[in-house]
Amino acid sequence: MSPSFLLSYGSVSGQWTYPLIRTPAPVLLWFGIVLAGALLLLRWMTHRTIDRYPATCIAAWTLIGWLTMVFLHFLSYFSLGSLVSSDLSNGFFTASLRYGPLAILAEYPDLPNLPYHVWTNMPGKVLLFHFLRLFTESPQALGVLIVLLASLSGLLLFGILRELEWKRAVGLDAWILWMVTPALIGFLPILNTVTVTFALLVFFLVLKAIRTNSLFFPILSGMAAFWLFLFEPTPFALALIGVPILIGLIRRETVPIRHVMKILGIMFATFLLSAILLWLFTGFDPVQALTHVVLDALAFDAKSRPYLTWVLPQLKDFFLGAGILPSAIFLLSIVASLRLRRKRATGNDQHTAAALLAIASLSTILLLDLTGIGRGEVVRFWIFLMPFVSAIAAAACQKRTWLFSVILSATILQTAISVWSIVFVLPTNPFLL
């Protein structure tokens, strides 16, 4: 695989590509070998103990995931602090310095002097910076905290797979593959990497609510869903993955349909109540805010990014950003599951669950592609779908340690080359570089 293909994000005909700043260096190979060797050793040790000491292993990998992501980002040309404080690449930090939380909510999007990315996004990203600034005002430290939040998506992915009754070892492998994914590392500390965490949190809480009789989880899921709406509404597309899973649970009589409808009703009521309360206390109009964001995105795409030009290139970008080998295994797994579709399995069969998750994920990706959402920048906007690619790749490697080792090593090398060479996030005018 030539380095030029690893770096070919975007579309020349679409007039949007991610610029190259450095050619790949030989040191990246050694970097990849050392990191892959360390992670594989830790994986081997964890596989031997995770069923006996799950809490300890999960806590350890939460720390390992965070440190690994920070370590990989050191290859980037720009520091975390410069990207956080830049109005060109971010803007949400600056907006949080200019306006308080109540002003952001009450007057959004009509506040003067908002950086462009703030004006075109929901206000939740600015509110997140208000929260993080309770701990530090340093842009570099804020960047490290953002990486911590982004790294928690791996923990939530593990939790989701456990709720779907996958083995702990497979969930761990999915976690490891996800935390070295090229797009995830490349776009740190941009808040799209944190969107994944909030999206998977909602997904996890919904599954937890469906599988329990407590009112706590459906109420919490409704609140988390409303926060996700304030932060970034696009990940609600994950419902397209969740629906087939719920149908599968109902058909196998794992959960009764009446219970599912009750849980979803409580969630919707909580979501609606959250919106009403926020409107009453701050004046924030969620319908107006969403309309503003959607209309601006449609106008921008219609003016700058023709639909047909991007239909195929953005699929290439998505799977390249999710990792070449994980994506290849993901697609091959779907082909294999379709060939074996006549073989019915038991309700707890992990292969059946993996096949359902893979087909639902691919269907969602293709549907989003056809709608043109995130046109030209899906490698950033659709990061929230990439953990499921990692999960399916990990499931395919369940009894093939050698294959997992190859996939992990190749993905780390791809990520290292990409982060070293590509300007995924630009903090300054390119003519000043």
What is the mean pLDDT, run by run of 10 residues, along the chain of 433 residues? 64 72 86 94 95 95 96 91 87 92 89 84 94 95 96 97 91 97 94 96 94 90 96 91 83 79 94 96 91 83 74 89 95 82 51 81 90 79 95 91 95 93 73 43
Closest CA to 385 of 234, 166, 225, 249: 234
Distance CA 391, CA 330 (A): 9
pLDDT at position 117 is: 82
CB 171 within 8 A of CB 364: no
3-state DSSP assignment of residue 422? strand
Virtual CA dihedral for 348, 352, 354, 360, nearest 10 degrees? -120
Q: Which residues pair with 16 in a beta bridge?
A: 11
Q: How many CB atoms lie within 10 A of CB 1?
A: 11
Q: How many CB atoms lie within 10 A of CB 254?
A: 14
Virtual CA dihedral for 153, 330, 356, 221, nearest 10 degrees? 10
Distance CA 221, CA 429 (A): 41
Distance CA 255, CA 164 (A): 13
Residues 2-36 as b or e (16 or more Cβ within 10 Å = b): eeeebbbbbbeebebebeeeeebeeebeebbeebb
Q: How far is CA 223 from CA 44, 210, 269, in A?
A: 38, 16, 10
Q: Which residues pair with 11 in a beta bridge?
A: 16
**Residue in the structure block whose two tokens are 């600056």:** 94
**Residue in the structure block whose two tokens are 């953005």:** 314
pLDDT at position 182 is: 95
DSSP structural state of residue 19: P
pLDDT at position 243 is: 86
Distance CA 103, CA 88 (A): 22
3-state DSSP assignment of residue 246? helix
Distance CA 186, CA 203 (A): 24
pLDDT at position 8 is: 74
**Residue in the structure block whose two tokens are 């040309």:** 77
Which runs of consecutive H residues, i.e. helices, occur in 283-400?
286-304, 307-310, 313-321, 324-339, 350-371, 378-381, 386-396
Q: What angle do CA 59, 64, 70 make, to 5 degrees?
A: 135
pLDDT at position 71 is: 93
**Residue in the structure block whose two tokens are 């206000």:** 123
